[in-house]
Structure 1
Amino acid sequence: MDSLHQRYPYDDEVAAFYALSLLSSAGPAGEGHRANVKAGALARDITARNPRHPGAVHYTIHAFDDPVHAPLALPAAWVFADIAAAVSHARHMPTHIFIQHGMWQQVSDSNQSAYDAAVALWVPGDMAGDMTHALDWGQYGDLQLGDYDRAELWIERMEEIVRKNPGQKRIIEALPRVNARMILETQKWQMQPITDSSTDPELLATGISAVHLGDLDRARQVADKLAAKSAALGNNDQSYYAATGKPIAVMHRSVAGMTAIASGETEKGLAMLQEGVEIAESMRPPNGAPNPIKPVHELYGEALLSANMPAEAVAQFSASLARTPNRPLSLLGIARSYAALGDEDAARKAYQQLAEVWKGRDFPGIEEASAYLTAVDTD
């Protein structure tokens, strides 16, 4: 494709297929970063000549789907749904960039639109992939907005699709993930039975719930289960391990670390969470809803703050927000950390940002933000 592009440098279709080939060659561990950037440059060159080229706009979004480069794809994100309005995936794709900016209302709206388009085109017997993708990512957006009723609605829609379309692997695998995400984002702790069929997200949600509910035996069982799954994968195939094994290794450190802290072994537990952070940072940059579904930097920050280490917590929450911008639980954590350090200006800024994300909600976190802002503004 490179030689063909050199022969026909202004052929948009040659350039588009060249960009696609580069994106396809990029591995999950981030070793294809240079290929992604080159693909994005090719795609942007096409859109400079033809702003509504659907392939170029699509590939621009994929190429720059990471926290650092996402601003380069924001113009593409704004137009893609209009270019191919009948296509569910085109309505969904802007979400990749909106998530990287923490634009939660746009994440919710884009995936609602994508879901509507998928439903309109679906006929019995079709795969439900486009609907599944929209339901999964739309739920994440509404959870960040604090709209838990709509987040539950996405789950109910998914359950209905499973009932009507038994045997579709993709949506069957997605359902445990959205249920587990609901538990961790709302912090309404709930434990599931630990079985051989327990999914990784279910184990993570059950393990962290067990810690908060004081069932440390259950938490240890989860940690052991995750450790065994991680060990079974090994790391012989680096690409597969990076995509699948490393997230499980992070989940193991997350549950084991929190369990150790709850057992009185704070130093050991924090060290395990630090290991989880290091593994996460060796993975490809975040794209889409977090994997694992509880970001380990955020979890580590919460643990550090609980251990009365607010300065160290600030560092972890800052890293979490750099990787997953505008996440409300990380905003709440960093606001509390700055407040504990007596840094009123930084705490005010974080609480104000949180208040904007959770506007109109009546959560304890938003009440805390309002009380702090009122107190510092009257001093």
Structure 2
Amino acid sequence: MLRLKRVAVSLFFIASLSSAQEAHDHGAPEKLGKVSFPISCAPAVQEQFNRGVALLHSFAFTSAEQTFQSIAKADPQCGMAHWGVAMTYFHPVWSPSLPPQTFPAGQKEMLEATRLGANSDREREFIHALGVLYQQSAALTPAMRTIAYEQAMAKVAKDNTNDLESQVFYALAILANVSPSDKTHAKQKQAINILEPLYAEYPNHPGIAHYLIHACDSQELAQRGLPAARAYAQIAPSAPHALHMPSHIFTRLGLWDDSIASNLASRQAARQHGDIREELHAMDYLVYAYLQTERDAEVSQIIQDIKSMPNPDMSNFGIAYAVTAIPIRYAVEREQWNDAANIVPPSAAPPSVVAIAVWSRGLGLARTGHTKEAREEADQLRQIETQLHASGDDYWSTQTGVLAGEVLAWSAQASGDPHQAVVLLRTAADQEDAIEKQPVTPGPILPAREQLGDLLLEQKQPVLALKEFQAALVQAPGRRGTLQGIAQASQQNNHAERR
């Protein structure tokens, strides 16, 4: 068991946010958890550095950046301050992990961190490892960079076995290289094996709980992540992301009331921080949970709230995804096919986000009998699929291919070709089940396996439909559409047996 001789510094500063369980109180102290990251810079900046690292561990990147920049001003010889700034431009487990617009700034900070250096081997190793991520080479892809960084952090962890932050940042580096197509979750389990023993010894460390949730964000591992999910909001309630993250596990387990409470608190905190991306991310998870509990009026209000937002930055993937997905969820989950067909694809959004709107239109058109127009939307999805593949975005290329298959399947059904419809939709379901979702979404807007059950119900094949619904429920427990499908298939089957 890892032991530290240093006592972790508990981070309490004045802030405007209360915990998820308490009423908003402008006098509440800031709580970010307990972090100790000793550095050889001026002693006066040590506590501030601990705070910056705590903010990093809760992905409060803007506040962390400001904190590390203030340290650099207070101690111009502090190389680790520039390491901290560069770390805020690296978003492991998010997509993209190295945003192109901030990557040059990260490289600049690492050049300065390397120039200044540090007075301990451990700090120099941290600087070197991040320098590997930001190295000056146009030939390196982001995936190559994150793999090289993981390897460098493995050495940091090996050389500093008794240093908590070395182990935690190594676990995060591992999670940066998770493959969505690896259903064995090998990388996630590697990170969990590092983090779980640490969590038992350091239950108030924000990064440990946070990264355990990310590592367990799959159907196989969700139950294992529940203790961390229950604790994280209490560890760092001043961080909007800490209030939201438990809902990743709650969503996996169908704990809708817990997810709603988590995201209501996160949304309020994000608004207070002026973090539009985090607020919309919480709103998307909130809408998903509301729809499973038939709280449609609350979803309608959220859609109105989005419409009143002044000019959200649709070039930002996280913002664009939530703004686009929320009204589509509302239409599709309630089978309002005309509404789905009238969705307008967003301008200036990434192609992977545009694809969701095109899919909504195609699905709505197919389900209302406009097969020719639906196939045109499917053709557009195929074009986006090719575009994404050419750009190297294989994950969203695959997802877009699934969406195209769904539209074509329902078009075939409406055109009187039920066999082809089942073939297409089963293929889409198998492809979707073969890869994990990304953290940006609580799940597919309408799971392909659930759609396959609906299709088989429509074809009066209740026994086969029931099998698909039951498989869908394993992947996404507690989904309203799947549970309704199981009830309808059972009823249809019982009615057929009585004939």
Which of 205, 210, 225 is the equivalent residue of 2:380?
225
- What residue is the counterpart of 1:145 in the other structure? 293
Query: 2: CA distance between counterparts of 1:31 and 1:333?
Result: 26
- Contact 2:426–2:452 at 8 Å: present in 1 too? yes
Query: 2: CA distance between counterparts of 1:153 and 1:319?
Result: 33
- What residue is the counterpart of 2:35 in the other structure? none
Instruction: State the SS of the aligned residue for 2:189.
Output: helix
Query: 1: CA distance between counterparts of 2:287 and 2:249?
Result: 16
Query: 2: CA distance between counterparts of 1:172 and 1:281?
Result: 24
- What residue is the counterpart of 1:206 in the other structure? 361
1:89 aligns with 2:89: no
1:192 aligns with 2:349: no
1:29 aligns with 2:181: yes
Instruction: State the SS of the aligned residue for 1:25.
Output: coil
1:333 aligns with 2:485: yes
- What residue is the counterpart of 2:458 in the other structure? 306
Query: 1: CA distance between counterparts of 2:297 and 2:366?
Result: 26
- What residue is the counterpart of 2:417 in the other structure? 265
Q: Give the deviation of 1:199 after TM superposition.
A: 1.9
Query: 1: CA distance between counterparts of 2:390 and 2:470?
Result: 30
Question: Mean alpha-carbon deviation: is it higher for 191-200 or for 216-225?
Answer: 191-200
1:64 aligns with 2:216: yes
Q: Give the deviation of 1:27 after TM superposition.
A: 2.8
- What residue is the counterpart of 2:91 in the other structure? none
Question: Mean alpha-carbon deviation: is it higher for 187-196 or for 303-312?
Answer: 187-196
Query: 1: CA distance between counterparts of 2:313 and 2:280?
Result: 14
1:76 aligns with 2:224: no
Query: 2: CA distance between counterparts of 1:278 and 1:31?
Result: 13
Q: Give the deviation of 1:195 after TM superposition.
A: 6.7
- Contact 2:345–2:358 at 8 Å: present in 1 too? no
Query: 2: CA distance between counterparts of 1:91 and 1:208?
Result: 34
Residue 102 to residue 84, structure 1, CA distance change in 2 (3 Å): same
Which of 242, 250, 253 is the equivalent residue of 2:405?
253
Instruction: State the SS of the aligned residue for 1:274.
Output: helix
- What residue is the counterpart of 1:358 in the other structure? none
Instruction: State the SS of the aligned residue for 1:111.
Output: helix
Q: Deviations over 1:309-367 (max 9, x none)?
A: 22221221122111111101001111222233339xxxxxxxxxxxxxxxxxxxxxxxx
Q: Give the deviation of 1:157 after TM superposition.
A: 2.1
TM-score normalised by the chain length of structure 2: 0.63
- What residue is the counterpart of 2:74 in the other structure? none
Residue 76 to residue 196, structure 1, CA distance change in 2 (3 Å): closer
Residue identity opposite 2:455 in structure 1 = A
- Contact 1:46–1:53 at 8 Å: present in 2 too? no
Which of 288, 304, 312 is the equivalent residue of 1:156?
304
The 5-angstrom pairing of residues 279-290 of structure 1 reads 279-284=431-436, 289=441
Query: 2: CA distance between counterparts of 1:290 and 1:23?
Result: 18
Q: Give the deviation of 1:165 after TM superposition.
A: 5.0
Instruction: State the SS of the aligned residue for 1:86.
Output: coil
Query: 2: CA distance between counterparts of 1:225 and 1:282?
Result: 24
Q: Deviations over 1:288-328 (max 9, x none)?
A: 74554111000011001111222221221122111111101
Query: 2: CA distance between counterparts of 1:202 and 1:167?
Result: 13
Residue 70 to residue 291, structure 1, CA distance change in 2 (3 Å): closer
Q: Give the deviation of 1:93 after TM superposition.
A: 0.3
- Contact 1:253–1:272 at 8 Å: present in 2 too? yes
- Contact 1:67–1:285 at 8 Å: present in 2 too? no
TM-score normalised by the chain length of structure 1: 0.82
Query: Can you give the 5+ residue segments of structure 2 that lack an aligned partner in the other structure?
Result: 1-152, 348-352
Same amino acid, percent of matched pairs: 27
Q: Give the deviation of 1:32 after TM superposition.
A: 8.2
- What residue is the counterpart of 1:324 in the other structure? 476
Residue identity opposite 1:116 in structure 2 = Q
Residue identity opposite 2:288 in structure 1 = Y
- What residue is the counterpart of 1:105 in the other structure? 257
Q: Give the deviation of 1:164 after TM superposition.
A: 5.6
- Contact 1:286–1:323 at 8 Å: present in 2 too? no
1:181 aligns with 2:336: no
- Contact 2:312–2:319 at 8 Å: present in 1 too? no
Query: 2: CA distance between counterparts of 1:336 and 1:193?
Result: 29
Residue 223 to residue 165, structure 1, CA distance change in 2 (3 Å): closer
For the pair shown, the structure with the greater C-alpha radius of gyration is: 2
Residue 187 to residue 130, structure 1, CA distance change in 2 (3 Å): same
- What residue is the counterpart of 1:278 in the other structure? 430
- Contact 1:247–1:292 at 8 Å: present in 2 too? no
Q: Give the deviation of 1:139 after TM superposition.
A: 1.1
Q: Give the deviation of 1:210 after TM superposition.
A: 1.6
Q: Give the deviation of 1:188 after TM superposition.
A: 1.7
The 5-angstrom pairing of residues 338-353 of structure 1 reads 338-342=490-494
The RMSD of aligned alpha carbons is 2.4
Instruction: State the SS of the aligned residue for 2:308.
Output: helix
Query: 1: CA distance between counterparts of 2:459 and 2:443?
Result: 25
